[in-house]
Every structure is written in structure tokens, then in C-alpha cells.
Amino acid sequence: MNITNVDDLESKHFSPHGGKGKIDMKFAFTKLKKKGKKSAWNFFGIAEFPIGATAGYHKHEGNDEWFYILAGEADVIIDGKGHSIKKGDIILTKDGSSHDIVNVKKKLVLIAIEVETGWISPQRYT
């Protein structure tokens, strides 16, 4: 079992995937593979996007990523199609898809989870 508290995580201030501006993100459980543990887990993260910041349009290859929106409003572009997102929304970017977070209208706070798809059974989630 692994337990950590968000207050104990170091915050990283960076521009992901060539996006505009900088976001703040705290990552948990990213070292499981580095410790030699078998895991499909890439990361669990809590991100804050200030108004004007973007994620940078990028393609997922070999992994799926979920966002759960805790606060704020923005747009997400998935495979070239735009969608408005707000508190309570859950977004899935599947392996092979591309996405970006843009047009942050209110400070966006989200949980991001990324897992490798090679570990997932053929009966995929929807």
C-alpha cells in the first residue's frame, strides 16, 4: 500500500508539452517503476492552470489519460474538436488521441491520471 498527502508533494512550475504559460502540478506515485515495481501506472497529478495557460497539443501513444475537473472553466481540444469543461467533468484521452487544454476562463484545477495501455485487458473501458 502507498499513501501520501498532497501537502507533502513538491509542486513543479512548468510548461507542459510546449504549452503557453506555466502550470503548477504535484505528482504522486511516479517512482513506482523506478523502484522496479511492475505497474501500468505513470502518474497521479493535481494541476492548476492559471488564466491564459495551455497544456500544449500532444498525442498519447501507449497510454490513456483522465482528467477530473475540481474547479474552473476552460476548453479541451481532443482530436481537433473543442469542448467546454467545468467542475465535475471527467475527460478521457485514449491511446492514439491528441489533446490540449486551452482558453482557461477561470483558474482550472484538475486531477490527472495516466496509465500505460499495454497493461489493460482487451475489454477496454468506455
d(CA 18, CA 3): 32
Check if the beta carbon of residue 44 is closer than 8 Å to that of residue 53.
no
DSSP state of 71: E
- Residue at grid coordinates 499495454: 118
Q: Which of 21, 22, 50 is nearest to 108 (CA)?
A: 50
48: its cell numbers: 492548476
Model pTM score: 0.88
Q: 19-72: per-residue pLDDT in tens?
A: 999 999 999 988 766 666 677 888 899 999 999 999 999 999 999 999 999 999
Q: In the chain, what's the furthest Cα-to-Cα distance?
A: 41
pLDDT at 13 over 70: yes
Q: Is the pLDDT of residue 5 over 80?
A: yes
**Residues 65-112 pLDDT 10s:** 999 999 999 999 999 999 999 999 999 999 999 999 999 999 999 999
Q: Angle CA(10)–CA(11)–CA(13) in degrees, nearest 5?
A: 145
Q: Cell match 508533494: residue?
A: 9
Q: How many residues does the chain have?
A: 126
90 Rama sector, left if φ>0, alpha if ψ -120 to 50, beta otherwise: beta
